[in-house]
Amino acid sequence: MLSMKKRASLIAGKKLHQGGKTGFVSREIIAVPSSKEEIQLHQVFTWNPSLPGLKSEDTMVVEKEGNRFLTYTGKWTYIDVEHEGDIYRRPDILVRDE
């Protein structure tokens, strides 16, 4: 049986792709687990995972030192997320007052 998180991820992925290589068109190649596309230096990718009612979107360039996020402005509330010893600065969730 699939967990609710996994089920929501599968549903969201079918409704909206999760990102891919970008350039002259919004997604030259869509990111899928079965992709055979080789990632190269200086390519630009977007990543926009989503769930119902929630979406995160980033654009990054692949560099030798690691991915550089192009969408970081410093004008948003950010959180630092640690993954395997690396720190990633990510946009925090926008909470709207109703």
Question: pLDDT (tens digit, 9 = 90+) per residue, 33-74?
Answer: 788 888 899 999 888 877 777 777 888 899 999 888 888 888
Domain ranges of the chain: 4-91
Instruction: Please give the structure tokens belonging to residue 25.
Output: 């068109």
In this model, does residue 12 exceed pLDDT 80? Answer: no
Are the C-beta atoms of 10 and 18 separated by less than 8 Å? no
Query: Which residues does 5 contact at the CB level (< 8 Å), separation at least 6?
Result: none
pTM for the model? 0.63
44 SS3 class: strand
Question: Residue 45: is it exposed, middle or buried by C-beta count within 10 angstroms (0-12/13-18/19+)?
Answer: buried
